[in-house]
């Protein structure tokens, strides 16, 4: 094995059920450490805010996101003044974009894609990676080395190129992008879970299941994987952040979700195209959304990692 897993395996350690009381106790302890981290709590708040903003927001603040308002009669510095922020008594609080969409409404639509693609892709990535790693670690020997070689391969291909190939071949719908992001980003998590499985499979409770006649798949799915839940939660948090970033990158190079739908990356790309024409207010909002969501996820991931680590220390 290469030296790569040293970075995170030591940081994330599995809670081992059956040793420190009920499962509820474990999560209570993790939550207590999480709560002590003020940054993480703020991040949780920020993340929940964005979820509400994007998914519940459109029902409260209704905007027309199918037809842009293009009645451009008044011009300020060559830009249609209707789209200017604060023009006409706050009807467009953040302004409108180049095709007359209300930017706040646009952020909601874009965020809905960004968050749902990110969450789903992160989920797929975590599930595939964990299962792959647990099976590889549990089977050992030839299966293990074959499966882990495959992981090495996955880790050495620049993901964005594959993403572009697939988008060009199959078109950029949110389904395609979600599946591709999820199925090309699980390699790192497979390594982590494999490392933990190696430690877990020699434990007494695994032998106990085997003695009781439990099958291999039962051991893997009912006993080993639930014991790596701490690592999986942390992995999932970072995977969601990475997927949101990747989607934003894809949108920024012009291969994001096509009109009339959008995502934050595509919004940013459009903004950079029209900013030289005077649409300066269009640049900031999407950028802020991306940074805030990604940073909040990163901080939460860090706090969760600490939480599960502390759990181990107090045992």
Partner 1 sequence: MLSYLIRRVFQGFIVLVLVVLFTFLLEHLVPGGPAVVALGHRATPSAIKQFNHDNGLDRPIIIQFWTYLVQILSLNLGYSMVKSASVWYLIKSALAHTSMLVAVSIVFQFIVAIPLGAVQARRRNTRFDYFATGITFVLYAIPVFLIGEFLITFFAIQLQWLPGHVASTDGSFSIFTHPLAYVLPILTLSLVGIGGLSRFERSSVVDTYAQDYIRTARAKGLSERLVLRRHALRNSILPIITIIGLSLPALVGGALITESLFGIPGMGELTLTGANSQDMPLVVGTTIVATIMTIVGSLVADLLYAVADPRIRIESR
Residues in contact with partner 1 by CB under 8 A are: 2-4, 6-7, 149, 152-153, 155-162, 164-170, 241, 245, 248-249, 252-255, 265, 268, 272, 283, 287, 290-291, 294-295, 298
Q: Is 126 helix (H, G, I), strand (E, B) or coil?
A: helix
Q: Which is nearer to partner 1, 128 or 295 (CB)?
A: 295
For the bound state, the minimum distance from the C-beta of residue 75 to partner 1, rounded and expressed in Å, comes to 22
Question: Least Å distance between CB 294 and partner 1?
Answer: 5
CB atoms within 10 A of CB 143: 13
Smaller CB separation from partner 1, 194 or 201 = 194
Question: Six-digit token pair at 46?
Answer: 């920020």
Please say which residue, 36 or 152, places its beta carbon nearer to partner 1.
Answer: 152
Nearer Cβ to partner 1 (6/70): 6
Q: Kindly report the CA angle at 203 between 200 and 205, in degrees rounded to 5?
A: 110
Cβ nearer to partner 1, comparing 19 with 152:
152
CB 282 within 8 A of CB 25: no
In angstroms, give the least distance from the CB of 245 to partner 1: 5
Smallest gap from Cβ 155 to partner 1, in A, equals 7
Give 148's contacts (C-beta < 8 A, 6+ positions apart).
1, 136, 190, 191, 194
Distance CA 225, CA 268 (A): 39
Closest among 136, 140, 138, 158 to 148, alpha carbons compared: 136
- Count of beta carbons in the 10 Å neighbourhood of residue 42: 13
Minimal distance, residue 250 CB to partner 1, in Å: 10
Nearer to partner 1, 134 or 290 (CB): 290
Smallest distance from partner 1 to CB 241, Å: 8
Q: What stretches of 156-228 show up as alpha helix (H) in DSSP?
A: 159-170, 174-183, 187-200, 204-211, 216-218, 225-227
């Amino acid at each position: 094995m290469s030296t790569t897993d040293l970075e995170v395996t030591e940081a994330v350690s599995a809670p081992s059920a059956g040793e420190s009381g009920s499962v509820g106790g474990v999560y209570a302890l993790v939550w207590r450490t999480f709560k002590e981290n003020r940054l993480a709590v703020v991040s949780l708040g920020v993340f929940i805010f964005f979820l509400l903003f994007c998914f519940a927001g459109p029902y409260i603040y209704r905007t027309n996101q199918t037809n842009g308002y293009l009645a451009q009669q008044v011009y300020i510095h060559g830009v249609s003044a209707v789209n200017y922020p604060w023009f006409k008594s706050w009807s467009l609080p953040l302004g409108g974009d180049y095709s007359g969409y209300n930017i706040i409404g646009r952020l909601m639509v874009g965020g809905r894609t960004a968050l749902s693609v990110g969450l789903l892709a992160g989920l797929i990535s975590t599930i595939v990676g964990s299962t792959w790693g647990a099976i590889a670690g549990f089977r050992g020997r030839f299966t293990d080395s074959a499966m882990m070689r495959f992981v090495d391969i996955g880790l050495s291909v620049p993901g964005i190129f594959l993403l572009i190939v697939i988008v060009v071949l199959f078109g950029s719908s949110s389904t395609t992008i979600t599946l591709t992001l999820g199925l090309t980003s699980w390699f790192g998590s497979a390594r982590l879970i494999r490392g933990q499985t190696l430690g877990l499979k020699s434990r007494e409770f695994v032998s106990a299941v085997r003695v009781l006649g439990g099958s291999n798949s039962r051991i893997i799915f009912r006993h080993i994987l639930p014991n790596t839940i701490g690592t999986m939660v942390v992995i999932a948090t970072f995977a969601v952040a990475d997927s949101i970033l990747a989607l934003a990158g894809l949108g920024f190079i012009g291969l994001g979700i096509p009109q009339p739908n959008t995502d934050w990356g595509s919004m940013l790309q459009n903004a950079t195209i029209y900013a030289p024409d005077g649409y300066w207010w269009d640049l900031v909002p999407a950028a802020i959304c991306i940074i805030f969501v990604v940073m909040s996820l990163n901080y939460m991931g860090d706090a969760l990692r600490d939480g599960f680590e502390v759990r181990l220390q107090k045992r």
